[in-house]
Chains A and B, each alone.
Chain A
Amino acid sequence: MTITDDHVPIALRTEALEQLLTERELVDPSLLDRFISMYENDVGPMNGAKVVARAWTDPEYRTWLLEDGTAAIGELGFKGPQGEVIEVVENTSDVHNVVVCTLCSCYPWPILGLPPGWYKDPAYRSRMAREPRSLLAEMGLELDDDIELRVHDSSSEVRYMVLPQRPEGTDDLSEDELAALVTRDAMVGVALVEPPS
């Protein structure tokens, strides 16, 4: 291959290609950033947000989603990375769920995108198992003591997604408008879905 036979580091060859393509107006560096960040942030969470908004507006879908997350999510066109089971756990006024992968960083990426840096952090992984309530408080989510906290440990076989509570005052919103409120953090369980400001 031509690219491996010289003394110029591959990073510079990539940069050279990007410069030349940019100069010829074949690529736009800011668009490149968007494609990359789409993989890192947008594509996934939006898929998960659609699942949540559907569950909020369609009781039958919600029941199905909680019974068989993999199939209900598949119905919307999103599949597990390698056929893993996706289990959806529901937040209520009495129960709050949060997801961690204590061993590594298993994550339902087709619906939530690439995991954020903190999800892979050893401190998050160990503390979420050991002292979830105080860790959540540090992350900005103070839970009342009478709310039961359930921590779900993702694995390569089962990946969890949290179905957050629908915020108050959103009765008039459409499914798309609801989806726009749902954040990645809420679907991991380290935040709540905030009502529209």
Chain B
Amino acid sequence: MRAADPSLLPVDGLAAPPRSNGELVFEEPWESRAFGMAFALADRGVFTWDEFQQSLIAAISDWERARGDDDWSYYRCWLAALERLVQERELLSSSDVDARAVALHQRPAGHDH
């Protein structure tokens, strides 16, 4: 569990997770799941924490370049960084995730949360 060291999270700059007066803030449950997945995969050695940080910084740069209509969302970038590494390691493809996400979306109403 050494990967889950709070000091590994930067406190300043765009690569720092949202905090309110220093406390980590998850606005929605999925954000905490994405957060936990990165630590779990790093702990398992799928990637190093440094590799995740680099991927996160790259995802944030992509977002800054694109600057579409999306509001800034730290955990969207976090999830993109996570997916990118998982794809690079050839553990999953983007279309795998697309297909599953669409399948989940088509569940009967009341199951989306």
Contact = CB atoms under 8 A, between A and B. Distances in A.
A16 B105 CA distance: 10
Interface residues of A, number: 48
18 contacts: A1-B66, A2-B94, A4-B68, A10-B30, A17-B34, A17-B79, A17-B92, A17-B100, A19-B104, A26-B44, A27-B41, A34-B1, A35-B35, A38-B1, A39-B24, A101-B21, A107-B22, A114-B24
Interface string B20-31: 111110001110
Nearest to B25: A114
Main secondary structure of the interface of B (DSSP, over half): helix
Interface of B: 1, 4, 6-7, 11-12, 19-24, 28-30, 32-37, 39-41, 43-44, 46, 59, 62-63, 66, 68, 70, 76-77, 79-80, 82-83, 86, 91-92, 94, 96-98, 100-105, 112-113
Interface in A125-174: 156
Interface of A: 1-4, 6-21, 24, 26-28, 31-36, 38-39, 43-44, 79, 81-82, 84, 101, 104-107, 109-110, 114-115, 156
Contact of A81 (B11, B35, B43, B63): B11
Ordered nearest first, which 10 A-B pairs have the shortest CB separation?
Answer: A81-B22, A16-B100, A32-B36, A11-B30, A16-B101, A14-B30, A35-B39, A35-B36, A8-B101, A13-B101
A115 B112 contact: no
A32 B40 contact: yes
A147 to B, nearest CB: 30
